Structure formats: structure tokens, C-alpha cells
Structure 1
Amino acid sequence: MTLPVALSGTDVIGQAKTGTGKTLGFGLPLLERVTVPADVEAGRATPGQLTDAPQALVVVPTRELCTQVTNDLLTAGKVRNVRVLAIYGGRAYEPQVEALKKGVDVIVGTPGRLLDLAGQRKLDLSKIKALVLDEADEMLDLGFLPDVEKIINMLPVKRQTMLFSATMPGAVIGLARRYMSQPTHISATSPDDAGATVANTKQYVYRAHSMDKPEMVSRILQANGRGLAMIFCRTKRTAADIAEQLERRGFASGAVHGDLGQGAREQALRAFRNGKVDVLVCTDVAARGIDVEGVTHVINYQSPEDEKTFLHRVGRTGRAGKKGIAVTLVDWDDIPRWQLINKALGLEFNDPVETYSTSPHLYADMDIPEGTKGVLPRAERTRAGLDAEEVEDLGETGGRGSRGRRSDRPERGDRSERSEERPARTRTPRQRRRTRGGAPLGADEAAVTAGTVAPAADAPAADAPAVDGPAEPRTPRRRRTRTRAGAAPVEAAATATAVPVEEAAEPVAETKPRRRTRKAAEPTVEAVAEAAEPAAETKPRRRTRKAAEPVAEATEAVAEPVAEAKPRRRTRKAAEPTVEATAEAAAPVAEAAEPAAETKPRRRTRKAAEPAVEATEAVAEPVAETKPRRRTRKAAEPVAEAAEPVAEAKPRRRRATKSVAAAQPES
């Protein structure tokens, strides 16, 4: 009924039961529409009509159906030498791209890989003359509909569109008419076959307990006259588990489900077609379109989701006029779902009979020999098994289970194979806190690394400032530090500016920044002065934008001892240099000494503040200056009084203001 309409170029919606030859129903008209060199030789076409771009496209939902349709079209087009290519996921891209470059006449593919190659401009769909959606109700379902619409938009507007499926709901037909032009709807049924399923398929439905189902299946598989059998499960885990159980019971079984790689799936199907495996446990991925000769039994281990899935599962047997047996095991929890399916299909099994593996009616219905147990006798284990079929290297693109069967992989609990293959570790793993050479720093190295510098050689030894205690060992730096060296107190030589060494000396206490230390060194500088004039200074923190640069103005003719402090980085306690007076060498600086705390600007500073220190008449007034830190709201304002130590104001952490507050002492 389909061939005359399809050969005329009219759009067709074909509906027929499973196993009635729908593949050749659309395949033969498709092969006739393409132009090949044989047509040029016969005079039916001109050389200008030849092209290497694909001229026909068949879109299918599953990879297994893709390979099957490709093989059927290759067989039908062998005489005219029609080039047919299967394009589907789970395989390497390169062979498919090379085949497209050489030239293809008909493409059979799944939506995902078709869109990938079309998006990469490896696949040209502008010369397509005919489009076929096999299993159209599945292709126009919510899962495939967006991809199918994208593919249709890439095709020429003027083309022939054909839809074929065993189940064609009215909503799908209405949706399909959007992409078709005056289609002809053909529904093919036999006069003596008014049921939903093929009359040659005998139905049996049993209410079975889930714990007894493996035993029931094992005994059904030992029925007289059983050929190849397919067992359908709802979930991938159940399919894998049943395949393992049957293998332990002695049956040559294989599995096809989504958790397996494409190589393992094709290996199981090839072994099933070749007879090396006689039991194929699969999910609904193999329920549509799979045509294997010699399938006599189909067992629904779990009730299907809906009546369409049930029809496609049962349609794997009783094909092309042959007889078959379909057994459905319904659990107590699945009774409501099964009753809906039974009502939709008009079957007579609304209340399935309760059945167990030892029930007499099970033996009678399935023709199981008396005394059969759940384990296949060793004398009947004649199949080669799944291991006899080699796994083809498809260059799989990844995904779960791409290595094939689980028996080929080491068990999760057995790590011995992996540990033996792993090479021994040749170096110490990198720690989070790095140390010098992989070992903690010693006292000497810590002092050097921390930044302690020896006094200058040209300065007198007596004038050099003394450090109260030994330098603190440097804490191992963290991984994210960006600086190169830490900070520690530095002993600098005393130098005099415009004043003889005999009159006054300038001991300089220099504090270099350390790296992320929580406690800073506290150097003590002994000055050569009559009175103690400590200058308390606030040292800016890291990432400050403004640094203070106090300028010390000289008074009459006195020496200016400068306590110089360099800022540290991210220290929580600032250095507190204390200037202690000594009784010796007090005469030159008895009148007035004006110590100024000079703070050198830090790295990455943008603006410097220059507070001035004003001199008084007879007494030196040390100036306490507050250097702003980043993110401070209030700056410290220490007030320096005459001849008194200056208290140090430490700013809070994480302040927000950028202003500079400098306190100037009053006379």
C-alpha cells in the first residue's frame, strides 16, 4: 500500500504492526529517489545531477536501530551501488567524517550526532530530497522533538517527508502535519488480525513475586522448543543484574542497556544474531525496530510504562509471519499500571493469575519438562557465550562503561591489580607550607632568611645598636605569598649628617618587613642622648594607598637621631622600638634633641603624607605620627609631650577610609 504512494513523491504517514516490513516500505522509495552513477549509465539521469552530498536522510531514535536500518538499505541498494552511511554517537568522529568527504547518497543517523556534524559543517544537508522519521512517535516525543526540529530547519523546503511507526497517536499525527505537505495516512492491517498485536504471538500474563522472578525466568528459558529469547527490564540496573544471574545459572546471556559502551552493546547484539548468546537482557533501548531472526520468546520481566512500549516489546517475536510467545510478569505493585495497559489494548488479562516458579499451570502453559530446576544442566550448555564475540574498537568518545562488560574490569573491592600497575612514588609529595629544600629552616638560615643584616663595616662598633635577644626564627611561608623575603630587625650603622661623630651619633633601627608573621621583632635601640626620647610610630600595613613621610626639621645645632622603621607585611603586632638614654655622650645633645620617626614608604603606595615636626625652645619634642592604613575608619592620634615617651597608636584591622590623620603636638 505504501510503495505506489511513496514512489510518486507524496508525503506519507505509514502505520503498521511490528514485523510487517516498514523498513522496506520507506527504504525502496528512498533508494529510487537518489541519483547514482548507474542511473547516468542507463540514461535516466545526467552527469550534472550527480553529487557527493547526501540526497536522503533517515532519522532513528536508537543506535541499534540505526545499524539495522543501514544494513537493510545496503542490502536493498547493492545492485545500484547506493552509498549508505550510519552516523550515530558512541563512535569516533573521524571515520564518519572521512566517509562524508568521499561522498554519501543516503544517511541513517541519530539526532545528536547529526546535529554535531552539521554544526561543524562536516555534514551538508542542503541537497536532501527525502526525509524519513522511523519510529515517528518516538522521534516527535518531547525528548527528541527539539533536535528533530533543528534538523528539519536545515533541510530544503521542497522535499518528500515520510513518517513510519507501529504506534501513531493522534497528537503525534497533528504535530507531524506541521512539517508535511498534504500527507497520505496509510494504516495497514490484515482482515483477520484485528487485535493490537500480531495474531501469531501468544500472550501469557502472570502475577509474580519479585523475589521469585529469576527462578521463574530460568525455568521458562528451559521450555521445549525455545529458540532465542529477549528479556525486557525497566531499569538499567535490573537488566545488568538479571544478565549476571542468568550467566551464573548456566545460560549464555548478554546485556544491552545505556550503561554499557557502544562497543559492548554491539558485541552483545552480534553475539545474539550469530547464536553465540541465546538470551538477551535489555532495556527499552532495544524494544523498537530490532529484527533478529529466530526469536521465539519475549519476557517482560517488569511491566512496561505504557501500551506503546508493550506493543514494541512484544513485536520482537512473531515477525514476518512466524509464531512467538510473549510472557509478562506483573508484580503486585505494578497491577494498576498493567490494568491501564490491558484496557488500552483490549486484552483479556485484567486480573493476572498468581503464579510461582513451582506452579503447575506455568509448566503446562510454557511446556516445561517436569523436574526442571532453576539451573541449566551442564549437558545443555552448548552456546559459545558472549566472550566468544570480540569487542570491536569503535574509538568510543567516552561515557559510562566504555570499556565493555563489567567482567573485564577489576572489581571495586580488589585493588591489587591497580596497585601493582601503579609505579612507586619517587618524590615526596608537595606540602601546603613550603620549606627550604623540603626541610625546616635552622636557626642560622632562619636569621638570614628573616632579613637580619650585620652592621656596616665603616661604623664604629660602640655606636651600633644592640639587639636584646636573638632573632626569631622565620615561620615557613604559605603558598600564596607574593613577596620574596621576610622582615626582621636590621641593625644599621650610626651615621651623622653635618655633625661630627664625636658630638652625636645616629643609631638607626631599621625594621624590614617580614612575611605574614604574627609577631614582629621588637628591636631595642640605645641612643647616645641625655634624655630618653622614644618615638612611637604606627607602621602601615600591606596594601596601603597612602604612606606617611614625616620630615624632621633640625633645631639649633644638635644631632638628629632617627629611628627608622620599615613597614612589614600583614603583621598583627607592629614593632615597638624603644630608645633608651645613656649617660655618656649626653653633653652635645643636652640642650634640645629632636628625634623624628621617619617611616619609609612601602611598595604600591600612591600618595605620601608629609607631616611636619615643629621645634620648641629648649626641649626636644618627639613627634608621634599616625600613619594611615587601608580600610581604617579612624586613624590613631598619639600625642607626644615634652620629654615623655610617646604612646603608640595601633590602628584597627580592615578599615574603610583612605584619609590621613596626623597628630601634631602643641608647644
Structure 2
Amino acid sequence: MTTTDITPDGAAGAPAGDQPPADVDYSSASAIQAQDVSFADFGVREEIVRALSDSGITHPFPIQAMTLPVALQGHDIIGQAKTGTGKTLGFGVPLLHRVVAPGEPGFDELPAPGKPQALVVAPTRELASQVARDLETASKHRNVRIVQIYGGRAYEPQIETLNTGVEVVVGTPGRMVDLLNQGHLNLTRAATVVLDEADEMLDLGFLPDVEKILSRTPAVRHTMLFSATMPGPVVSMARRYMSQPTHIRAADPDDEGATVKNTRQVVYRAHALDKVEVLARILQAEGRGRTIVFARTKRTAAKVSDELRTRGFAAGAIHGDLGQGAREQALRALRHGNIDVLVATDVAARGIDVTDVTHVVNYQCPEDERTYLHRIGRTGRAGNKGTAITFVDWDDVPRWQMIDRTLDLGHPEPVETYSSSPHLFSDLGIPEGTKGRLPKGAQKLGGLDAEELEDLGETGKRTAGGRDGGRGGQGRGGQGGRDGGRGGQGRGSQGRGGRSGEARRSEGQRSDGQRSDGAARPDDKPAAGEGSGEGQRRRRRRRRTSNGSTSADGA
């Protein structure tokens, strides 16, 4: 694999340690960056330029300016960029530029009109949904049909949409492989393939599925791979499935990102019984806007979210025990301003792109430096200032010191902090006298209930669980799957259902697709008058008669 490396400053030198080991020809992108260019200057279709302009997008971000001239020529690309850098349009605009939609010249001459012409593979449902929305925005003046394929939704609507005909498929690996195996997804005409956040797909164990998907696409295709880092397995996959890719970096490899430079970082050693009280006071700091609170476990995320709502805050949660409908409800509420606090686990938050986040709170210490940067990178974007607060328990001090030493943060010893500590108020601009409950007069947002909890068909109609699930749990829950979807509405059932594949994979587990007790089998039809579920079999008991013998009695 030979790569051409493009960086914003055009600096030459050997690739960084996590870069693809290859013969590298460094070329400068400074000319591109110095010009005040627009999307039209790259020769992008007029309908796409107009659609972006309608949304207030007229000038490309650096990653887009570097990607467009290469991608529009059909060259394979390895794009190294973090979430929030604008990479979606970096690959989305070239992808849409090549797609031929119904009613456009050449559509009827396609070898298979209605079969997917482009494919985007993402690690999580939330990222897939975000990518699909961005593509829909950029193609609103064209008749491009875009379908989202991921777990947590019923199979039937997705299958029906594929059968009707689509141009672009966006989804997660597990559900895609499932539909490929069933013969519902045909990728033989997918001439453009995008792998978004490939390193996250590696972390979630999806690379084998991704390679299976790639093997079902044309041998000659346009492939674009985007990843924040380039670990060995991702490099190996790129070597096997890409042809002379151009390696594009959105930032200097030694720079941890402008988001960190714009983010004030505060670290406190907080005590478990006092952390919610501390958090509640932080959420009343002056100038506090949208806030994301990160937790390491699903249980903690649910508990903190519930506690904040009890204290009067407009809070929602995103974690693996929630069904897809509840997760999307929380995200809509945050985007629409009905809540301003989102409590999330690391896995569930991957791919969520929310603007104007002023504060990030690490309620539990991150696992490592990469997770720390990923969390605090949610604030301080697009030149805005942000604040990141990290709580460190006594047991987590060694872990934090390792993170601090690796990133050279200068906070090796977190300051012991209580909800009454004067420095807490002065550090974060919390008004004096603030307590751990939001006053009634300040409770002005609509909350989660202001957003409808959609019925996404999470129970489906299938009799066997797929790799992405999608049958989640009303009653006792249906089949689980590799991309989750086991949860029903709200939090699903706590017995068999309600757990998503992403979160379960983060715990080192993989769904085996076997039937649960709530799954119907062809020979399990209940008799007339009997309920479903366990079948409510009639029990028989023995009654002792007067002569000492026993007789059967229906119970």
C-alpha cells in the first residue's frame, strides 16, 4: 500500500508511530487552506452546493478542503480526523456527487437501478443516524434515497425500503451482515464505500464483519476510510482493501486537537456520597449551557440521570439498557432544547454530534487518556470555549495520574473537593449560596416528556434473532443481536430485554443470537384460552383419597 500524505501545514517527516507504515510522499495543502474557497470551487454538483448553502454551510472545513479534490477524482482516502472536524461532509459530498438518483440522466441506464450505489459503515446507531441526517441535508434538492440500517428497529421496514430501491445505505456492521446473509441487501453495485471511525469499529469487535461487507462489494470501487487513530488491524485492513490511498490528516499528528486548547480542565478528588451534590451545584454555574455528563457504567448513568431529574434538572440519559426509541428521544430533547443535561456512557455516546456544549463532567474517571480526550473533546469546538470537570475517586487516583502523566496535563494530584468547598464555587463561577436542587423558578425546560417516545417497531415480527437484534423487549424481550435492539420502549424489560449490543460488547460480551425464553418457536403455539410467554401450562396435583391411594386432579 502506497500512500500520499496531506497535512494542513504541509510539514514533512516520518509518519507518526500509529500511521500506516508505507512509502510516504508528503505534499502540501497550505495553498488549499490559505484560499477562501467554497464547495462550488471544487466542481461539486450545483444541487449539493445549494442544499448546503440553505443550511448555512458555504465554506468547507480543513478536512473537507483537503478531502474533496482527492475524493472527487475517485482516489481512495485514509482520513485521520476526530469527531467534530466536519469529516462527514468530507466523504458525504463526494459520495453524493457520484450517485445517480431517480429522474436524473443516466439512472435508467444503470446496470441495476435501485440497488445501492454507495455504502457508509459506522460503529454505532447514533453515528449512523447522524451521518444519514447530514447526507439527507446535502441531498435535499435531489431524489437520492437514503436508508438507515441498524439494530433497535424492526427488520421489516428496512427490508421493504431496500426492496423498493435505494441509492445510499448507512448503517452498522451487524445488521448489515444479517441482511446480507438473508439476501435482502445487495452490494454488488456499491461503487463507493465509506468506513467511518474505523478504530471505534475495531474496539467494538466489528472488523471481521466489516471485512465480510467489503468482500461483497465490487472489486473495483472507491473506498474512503476515516479514523482518529490508525492501529495495526485497521492498517492491515486498509492494505487488503484499498488501492494506493491518499492519507489525509486534519491536524498535526502531535496536536491533541484544538478542542483541548479551548477547554479549561479542572480535576477534583470527590467523594462518592457527595458527588451528585457537587454535580448539582456545578450545573448551576454561570454561563452553563448544554452539558454532557460521562459515566463508566450503565447503572451509574441511569442513577445519576434519575437523581438530577429528582433535583429539578432537565436531564436525560443515553446508555445500553435503553431501547432505541428512548435513546433517540433523549437526543432529540437535547437538540431541541427541552433538556440541557445528557448523562451518557462512553460506548453509547460514540458518534453523537451535539453542538454548543459548554461543559463536560467526567462523573467517573476515564479508563485511559484516549477516553479522556474523546470525552472532553465534546466541548470547546469551533473556536468556542469549554470547561471539562473530572471527578476522581480515591481508588482511581493511580489511573488518573497515568492519564495526567501521558497527556502532561499538570494535575497529578486532584484537589480534595466537597460540595461546600469554597474553591468549587470560585473555580466554576457558581453563585454563593447555591444548593443541590434547582429552584422552581429556574425549571423552565420541557424535559424528556416534551419529546414523543416513538414506537420504532423494536419488537419486530421475526421469529429468530438476528445479529443486530431489533426485537427488544416488550414483555420478556425478544432476540438480542450484535448491534443491540434488545430494549423495548423506555428502558425495556429488566429481565431478558433492554440491553443493547454496543453496551454489551463494552463489557466483553457478544450476543450469540440464541433464543431467549420470550422467543416464539413454531411448535410453541399456546392452546386456546392460554396466555403467551411461559404458556401457563396446567399443573396437575395428586390428591390422597380416604383409602390411601392417589388420584390426579387438574389445578
TM-score normalized with structure 2 length: 0.71
Contact 1:35 1:49 in 2 (8 A): no
Offset at residue 312 of structure 1 (A): 1.9
From 96, 101, 116, give the equivalent of 1:36.
101
2: distance between equivalents of 1:371 and 1:11? 58
Provide, for residues 389-442 of structure 1, a one-character-per-residue CA deviation record: whole Å limited to 9, x for no partner. Answer: 110011111145413058999xxxxxxxxxxxx99xxxx99553567xxxx778
Does residue 343 in structure 1 map to residue 405 in structure 2? Answer: yes
Give the aligned partner of residue 490 of structure 1: none
Equivalent residue, structure 1, for 2:514: none
- How far residue 99 of structure 1 moved from its aligned partner, in angstroms, is 0.9
Alignment: residue pair count: 427
Aligned to 2:70: 5
Partners of 1:261 and 1:337 lie apart in 2 by 32
Amino acid at match of 1:303: C
CA gap 1:373/1:474 in 2 versus in 1, 3 angstroms: closer
| Partner of residue 359 from structure 1, selected from 401, 411, 421 | 421
Identity %: 65
Q: Tell me if the contact between 1:252 and 1:385 (Cα under 8 Å) persists in the aligned partners.
A: yes
Residue matched to 1:470:
none
Question: Following the alignment from structure 1 to structure 2, what is the Cα–Cα distance between the partners of residues 474 and 405?
Answer: 52
Match of 1:143 in 2: 205
Q: Distance in 1 between matches of 2:493 and 2:233?
A: 45
Between stretches 97-106 and 138-147, larger displacement belongs to 138-147
Alignment partner of 1:404 out of 490, 514, 521: 490
In structure 2, the CA distance between the partners of 1:168 and 1:348, relative to structure 1 (3 Å rule), is farther
Preserved CA contact (<8 Å) 1:227 1:278: yes
1:108 to 159, 167, 170: 170
1:302 pairs, out of 355, 360, 364, with 364
Q: Residues 340 and 11 (structure 1 numbering): CA distance in 2 closer, same or farther, change over 3 Å?
A: farther
- Does the aligned pair in 2 maintain the 1:17–1:189 contact within 8 Å? no
* Residue 541 of structure 2 corresponds to residue 476 of structure 1: no
Structure 1 unaligned runs (5+)?
410-421, 444-472, 480-667
| 1:642-661 pair list within 5 angstroms | none
Distance 1:50 1:216, change over 3 A: same
RMSD: 2.9
Residues 1:16 and 2:81 aligned together: yes
Give the corresponding residue for 2:159.
97
Distance 1:15 1:345, change over 3 A: farther
C-alpha change, 1:301 and 1:17, in structure 2 (3 Å) is same
Report how far residue 140 of structure 1 moved.
Answer: 2.5
Once the two structures are TM-superposed, the CA of residue 320 in structure 1 deviates from its matched residue by: 2.6
- Of 534, 540, 543, the match for 1:432: 540
1 CA distance for matches of 2:258 and 2:397?
20
Tell me the CA shift for residue 89 of structure 1: 0.5
Are the equivalent residues in 2 in contact too, given 1:61–1:139 (CA < 8 A)?
Answer: yes
Change (3 A) 1:178 1:191: closer
SS of the residue corresponding to residue 48 of structure 1 reads coil
Partner of residue 478, structure 2: none
- Aligned position for 1:368: 430
SS at match of 1:239: helix
Distance in 1, matches of 2:113 and 2:263, equals 46
The one-letter code sitting in structure 2 at the alignment partner of 1:398 is G
CA contact (8 A) 1:111 1:147 kept: yes
Decide whether the 8 Å contact of 1:227 with 1:295 is kept in 2: yes
Q: Structure 1, residues 299-339: CA drift from partner, whole Å, max 9, x if none? A: 11111222222222112222233222111111111122222
State the Cα distance separating 1:165 from its structure 2 match: 2.5
**1:380 Cα offset (Å):** 0.2
Alignment of 1:182-261 (within 5 A): 182-189=244-251, 197-261=259-323
Change (3 A) 1:45 1:104: closer
Q: Distance in 1 between matches of 2:412 and 2:307?
A: 30
**Aligned residue number for residue 187 of structure 2:** 125
Q: Does the 8 Å contact 1:287/1:316 carry over to 2? A: no
Rounded to whole Å, the distance in 2 between the matches of 1:45 and 1:33 is 12
Shift of 1:68: 0.9
Structure 1 SS opposite 2:199: helix
Give the distance between the partners of 2:412 and 2:208, measured in 1 at CA.
Answer: 37
Give the distance between the partners of 1:142 and 1:111, measured in 2 at CA: 10
Secondary structure, counterpart of 2:343 in structure 1 = strand
What secondary structure does 1:231 align onto?
strand
> Who is 1:172 aligned against?
234
CA drift of 1:27 comes to 0.9
CA distance in 1, matches of 2:107, 2:158: 28
More helix by proportion, 1 or 2?
2
One-letter amino acid matched to 2:134: D
Moved more, 191-200 or 239-248: 191-200
Question: Relative to structure 1, is the Cα distance of residues 37 and 325 closer, same or farther in structure 2, using a 3 angstrom cutoff?
Answer: same
Q: Which has the larger radius of gyration?
A: 1
1:342 Cα deviation (Å)? 2.4
* Alpha-carbon separation, structure 2, partners of 1:429 and 1:335: 55
Verify the 8 A CA contact 2:154 2:457 in the aligned structure 1.
Answer: yes
Label 1:219 to 1:184 Cα distance change in 2 as closer, same or farther (>3 A).
Answer: same
TM-aligned CA distance change 1:236 to 1:103, over 3 Å: same
**Stretch of structure 1 that moved more, 196-205 or 214-223:** 196-205
2:320–2:348 Cα contact (<8 Å) kept: no
Secondary structure of the 1:13 match is strand
Question: 1-side partners of 2:537 and 2:237: how far apart?
Answer: 62
The answer to whether 1:315 aligns with 2:374 is: no
Whether the aligned pair in 2 keeps the contact of 1:19 and 1:318 (CA below 8 Å) is: no
8 Å CA contact 2:281–2:434 kept in 1: the answer is: yes
CA distance in 2, matches of 1:431, 1:207: 58
Q: Deviations over 1:168-197 (max 9, x none)?
A: 345533443232222222112279966574
C-alpha separation in 2, matches of 1:244 and 1:15:
38
The answer to whether the Cα contact below 8 Å between 2:274 and 2:418 also exists between their aligned partners in 1 is yes
**How far apart are the structure 2 equivalents of 1:109 and 1:408?**
27
In the superposition, relative to structure 1, how do residues 178 and 343 fare at CA in structure 2: closer, same or farther (>3 Å)?
A: farther
Give deviations 1:643-665, integer Å, cap 9, x for gaps: xxxxxxxxxxxxxxxxxxxxxxx
Give the match for residue 278 of structure 1: 340
C-alpha separation between the residues in 1 aligned to 2:286 and 2:539?
69
Kept in 2: contact 1:125–1:154 (CA 8 A): yes
Letter aligned with residue 489 of structure 2:
R
CA distance in 2, matches of 1:477, 1:38: 73
SS at match of 2:261: coil
Q: Matches of 2:350 and 2:361 in 1, distance apart?
A: 15
Distance in 2 separating the partners of 1:21 and 1:354: 38
Q: Which amino acid aligns with 1:2?
A: T
Separation in 2 of the partners of 1:162 and 1:346? 33
1:154 to 195, 213, 216: 216
One-letter amino acid of the structure 1 residue matched with residue 195 of structure 2: L
User: Could you say if the C-alpha distance between residues 433 and 369 of structure 1 is closer, same or farther in structure 2, counting changes exceeding 3 Å?
Assistant: closer
Question: Alignment partner of 2:225: what SS?
Answer: strand
The yes-or-no answer on 1:53 pairing with 2:115 is yes
Matched-pair contact (CA < 8 Å) for 1:226–1:296: yes
Alignment deviations for residues 433-488 of structure 1 (CA, whole Å, 9 cap, x no partner): 567xxxx7788xxxxxxxxxxxxxxxxxxxxxxxxxxxxx8653799xxxxxxxxx
Say which SS state the counterpart of residue 425 (structure 2) adopts.
helix
- Return the alpha-carbon distance in structure 2 between the equivalents of residues 430 and 288 of structure 1: 49
Amino acid at match of 1:166: A
Is 1:86–2:160 an aligned residue pair? Answer: no
Matches within 5 A, 1:67-86: 67-86=129-148
Amino acid at match of 1:185: H
Instruction: State the alpha-carbon separation in 2 of the partners of residues 392 and 256 from structure 1.
Output: 16
Answer yes or no: is the 8 Å Cα contact 2:177–2:213 preserved in 1.
yes
Mapped to 1, the partners of 2:542 and 2:550 lie a distance apart of: 10
Instruction: Tell me, in whole angstroms, the C-alpha distance in 1 between the residues paired with 2:91 and 2:131.
Output: 11
Structure 1 residue 74 displacement after superposition: 0.4
